[in-house]
Amino acid sequence: MKFEVFKNENSRLFAENRLLKFALILIALSNFVFGIMAYNAVKVKNVVLVPLNLSKPVEIGRSVNEFYVIQMTRFIFDSLFNYTPATVRKQYEVVLSLFDPTVFKKYKQIFERFVADAETVQMASVFFIDKIEHSRKKRIVKVTGKRLDIIGDKVVSQEKVTYMYRYKIVYGQFRLLEFGKAKAIQKKIGKEEKE
């Protein structure tokens, strides 16, 4: 009789062991499937922004919404070229924060010199955008417009200029790689393409 009790207990333990093995395999497979699903979700994720000054949502993922690039371009040019001696430093600091860390130091030195000069001579500036061209494939924006520099009450320079900048999107953030007059950047891009 004791053998029968042992045999029944042993059978029960084997059945329980099989059930636990099945449950463990099921949990491992579900973790594997959820891992693949999470990886795919991260790979194709988009960041949707609805800032206060935009009239519609903007989606940033592998590519950038044209509307977002145009709005960022307007923001950058308003901050860089529409200033007074009292606002120039803060505006340039805001734009400087948009530069990629790889070029930040270079543009910080350029901006600091410019801001010091603008504050010293008490210069104000106004920029009227005429045309914005965006190359989505190359991630380059070209802006043509009229720039006025004013000292006191006098317009000291008035010219039609074309600026250009290159950008990239890193983790949903807009990052400037290069900024300057169009001719200089086009030369640099031409040299890079030849190499």
148 is a domain residue: yes
Which CATH number does the domain housing residue 68 bear? 3.10.450.230
pLDDT (0 to 100) of residue 22: 92
CA-to-CA distance for 50 and 117, rounded, in angstroms? 37
Tell me if 56 is assigned to some domain.
no
Please state, in angstroms and rounded to a whole number, the distance separating the CA atoms of residues 96 and 27.
49
Q: What pLDDT does residue 126 have?
A: 95
Rg (CA), the chain: 30
Q: Is 101 exposed, middle or buried (0-12, 13-18, 19+ CB in 10 A)?
A: exposed
* 77 shares a domain with 147: yes
Tokens of 47: 């960041």
Alpha carbon of 122 to those of 28, 109, 147, 155: distances in Å? 69, 20, 17, 12
Residues 72 and 154 in one domain: yes
* pLDDT on residue 147: 94
Nearest to 66 by CA among 136, 167, 147, 149: 136
Q: Are residues 84 and 18 part of one domain?
A: no
Count of domains forming the chain: 2
Same domain for 162 and 131, yes or no, is: yes
Q: Is the same domain home to 127 and 181?
A: yes
Answer whether residue 30 is part of any domain.
yes
The parent domain of residue 94 ranges over 62-194
In a domain? residue 53 = no
Rounded distance between C-alpha atoms, residue 45 and residue 60, angstroms: 9
The pTM for the full model equals 0.69
Task: Give domain status of residue 50, yes or no.
Answer: no
Other beta carbons within 10 Å of 40: 10
Confirm whether 95 is domain-assigned: yes
pLDDT of residue 69: 87
Residues 79, 151 within the same domain:
yes
| pLDDT at residue 13, as a whole number | 80
**Per-residue pLDDT tens listing for the chain (195 residues):** 465 655 677 777 888 888 899 999 999 999 999 999 888 877 776 665 555 466 676 666 666 778 888 888 999 999 999 999 999 999 999 999 999 999 999 999 999 999 999 999 999 999 999 999 998 888 899 999 999 999 988 999 999 999 999 999 887 788 999 999 888 777 776 666 655
* Strand partners for 147: 127, 159
Cα 128 to chain centroid distance, Å, stands at 25
